[in-house]
Amino acid sequence: MDSMSVLERKAGYGSLKFNLRVAVVDKETGEESQVYVKENDVGDVQLTQMMCANLFDTTQTTVVKDTGGTARTVSANTAITGVNIVAGTGGTTAAVTDYQLGAIVSSPTGAGTQAATVGTVNTTTGVVLLTANMNGPSSTTTYKEIAIYVTTASYTFQVARDYYSSGWPVSTTQYLAVTYTITPS
């Protein structure tokens, strides 16, 4: 038996947690409002499947749902070619089985999808940040859902999703700033 106690195992030792911070930012002043923080969220099933394929060298055969809902095979050691933070207006509570946002904001370009800036992993804590600033919407928009999408050579997969029922109303003079903090625990 290893040195990890039963109590440590039950406490979730060895898991990944996603902490989400969203703020509405004034384009002119940079002032933040409507700051929302959600801690200790878990990823989607697709996150575990992508980890099995890429960390544990195990092909996932016709089980990983892409953002269109089609079950795909992800070969072992499949390269990730893109990481995006996406934002939408859909109205359903997040679940571990989610594979797409309900309604990604599409206008103007960049109001609902931005390439994530992925920070360097802190070698002491293991923490890494993913950040993105959505372009301001073309009209006042109430965002309610945020997700992380990863793209392989052929397909896009959602690996984390969060939902806030009250939403974040964002006017044309503002933008949505999103930060995911991924922490091993």
pLDDT in tens, 159-172: 999 999 999 999 99
Q: Cα–chain-centroid distance for residue 97?
A: 14
108 upstream amide cis, omega within 30 of 0: yes
Helices (H) and strands (E) in the chain, counts: 2, 11
pLDDT in tens, 68-102: 999 999 888 888 889 999 999 998 888 888 999 99
pTM of the model: 0.85
Q: Phi and psi dihedrals of 89, rounded to 5? A: -115, 10
Q: Give, rounded to a whole angstrom, the gap between the first and last alpha carbons of the chain.
A: 20
How much is the pLDDT for 6?
Answer: 38
